[in-house]
Amino acid sequence: MRTRNKKQMKKKNGDVSTGVKILFTLAVLAALFVSGTYIYARINNSATSVVDEYVRSFTAGSPSRIFRTLNLKNTRFVTADNLDKLLKDIADYDKITSYSLVRLDESDDVCHYQVTYMIGRTESDFKQVLTLKKTDENYLFFFKKWGIDSADLIASKVAISVPVGAELSVDGVKLSSESLRKKSDRMQDYEIGDIFMGEHEYEVKLDGFNPYQGKFTLEAKDYLDDPVVTVKANQLVPDEGSTEVLKNLVERIVPKIYEDLLQRRSFDFLTQEVAIEAGSRDGLEKRYDKMRRDHVDTRTHLTFVDFTGFKSKVASTISMDDCYALKVDSKISYTAHSTVVSGDTPEIKVKKGKLKISTIFHYSDGQWWVYDSDAFGRFVDYIKE
């Protein structure tokens, strides 16, 4: 009986030892896994490893690797090709052969590294202080990834203001209507969004005008959607088509004014065939009526005028309301016939001359409108006595 109890106790003690061994083994494996994972994460997800990958990509001249290392997101203007152009402009990075790296400081969430680059045996003028921060992205489920702060390369919320109806291209990329944000009746903003710092080119196209090009330089900051460039209509130069249209308008409008005056027609009648801008109507009507009183409704008066030639030049002009404004300077040859009354006998007199006038047109609602013209006031010279 006693022998049997000893065997049972021995068997029981053996079972406990096996369980403890299994648990101990599992604990050791778990500890090894955790420590191994921690060491692996420290090696492959340290701030230094991220910086090393960046500078290796930099010296290799690989914009796609640099783009990935900076954790940049592809947008319309933030691309690996544009990053390549920027780094060539500011760093000549395609010429860099080696580098030195110094850690300036480090905390649990932020650290800084000083990078000095070499071109052969000469130190490059381009140096970098890289800021690394913990991101929201996890590595191996438990560790936050380190990432290089690329804010010193990006200009954000960039916009350009152009005349309504104009098309805009930046660095050769035409912006779609989805980028358009209308602000007023005359001007509209294109939202560019994020774009690399540095120098950029733009082109504005508007029907009736020659393309307008320019450059602008951006800093790495938030522009808060305020236009970095404003191109107004009066900066645009009319193309040959618009020039001819306006020259022809002057050739039609001037004879029409004199025809209606000599027929003693009202200003309202004139506006049925001549497009007068609403804001100018009252002022031009007063001048029209004065010409009629001074030169038509008089005893000695203009009877007929024959316009024999027009020579005109078209140029942009300043407009207070930023509309499309063009000025037509014309030299007009004419022959004026007047009725001169001496005593009770009327006599027809003839005189040749030249009339110089300037006419300003504004463009809106698909057509050109007369905003102002010397034709309302600067009268042809005729014989009065």
Q: Residue 7: what pLDDT? A: 52
Q: Give the single-character DSSP code of 172.
A: T
pLDDT exceeds cutoff 90 at 157:
yes
pLDDT at 185 over 60: yes
pLDDT of 326 over the 50 cut: yes
Span 78-105, pLDDT tens digits: 999 999 999 999 888 889 888 888 999 8
Helices in 134-222 by DSSP H: which ranges?
A: none
Quick check: 355 and 380 in contact, CB under 8 A? yes
Rounded to whole angstroms, the Cα distance separating 65 from 296 reads: 82
% residues pLDDT > 90 (the chain): 57
The full DSSP string for 169-195 is EETTEEPPGGGEEE-SSSEEEEEEEEE
- What would the mean pLDDT of 303-323 be, rounded to a whole number? 86
Which pLDDT tens digit goes with each residue over 135-150? Answer: 766 654 456 778 889 8
Residues 6+ apart with CB under 8 A from 7: none
Position 209 scores a pLDDT of: 86
In this prediction, residue 223 carries a pLDDT of 96
Task: Give the Cα separation of 264 and 289 in Å (integer).
Answer: 10
Listed in sequence order, the residues at least 6 apart from 372 whose beta carbon sits closer than 8 Å to its beta carbon are 280, 284, 359, 360
Confidence bin at 318 (pLDDT 50/70/90):
confident
State the Cα–Cα distance between residues 233 and 318, nearest whole angstrom: 9
pLDDT at 321: 67
Token pair listed for 196: 């690399």
Are 84 and 100 in contact by the 8 Å Cβ rule? The answer is no
pLDDT, tens digit (0-9, with 9 covering 90-100), for 192-216: 999 999 999 999 998 888 999 999 9
* % of the chain beyond a pLDDT of 70: 86
* Model confidence pLDDT, tens digit, residues 31-88: 554 454 444 445 455 788 888 889 999 888 899 999 998 989 999 999 999 999 999 9
Cα angle 225-229-232, degrees, rounded to a multiple of 5: 115
The per-residue pLDDT for 1 is 47
pLDDT attached to residue 40: 43
The whole-model pTM stands at: 0.71
Residue 276, amino acid? I
* DSSP character at residue 312: E
Q: What is the pLDDT of residue 291?
A: 97
Confidence band (pLDDT; 50, 70, 90) for 315? confident
Task: Please report, for the chain, how many H helices and E strands are present, in that order.
Answer: 7, 16
Start-end of H helices in the chain: 2-44, 47-59, 63-69, 80-91, 240-262, 267-270, 281-295
- The tokens 């057509």 sit on which residue? 367
**Which residues face 215 on adjacent strands?**
201
**Amino acid 140: pLDDT:** 47
> Comparing 344 with 370, which gets the higher pLDDT?
370
pLDDT of 212-254, one tens digit each? 999 999 999 999 989 999 998 778 888 889 899 999 999 999 9
Conformation bin of residue 36: beta by default, left when phi > 0, alpha when psi is -120 to 50: alpha
State the pLDDT at residue 356: 97
pLDDT of residue 322: 64
In one letter, which amino acid is 263?
Answer: Q
Angle between helices 281-295 and 240-262 (to 10 degrees): 50
> What does the DSSP assignment read for 15-51?
HHHHHHHHHHHHHHHHHHHHHHHHHHHHHHSSHHHHH
What are the structure tokens assigned to 309, written together?
């030639």
Residues 132, 143 contacting (CB under 8 angstroms): no
Q: How far apart are CA 158 and CA 322, in angstroms?
A: 22
Mean pLDDT of the chain: 86
What residue has token string 């990935």? 68
Q: Which residue has the higher pLDDT, 38 or 277?
A: 277
Residues 6+ apart with CB under 8 A from 62: none
Both structure tokens of 368: 């050109």
**What is the structure's pLDDT at 37?**
45
Q: What pLDDT score was predicted for residue 207?
A: 85
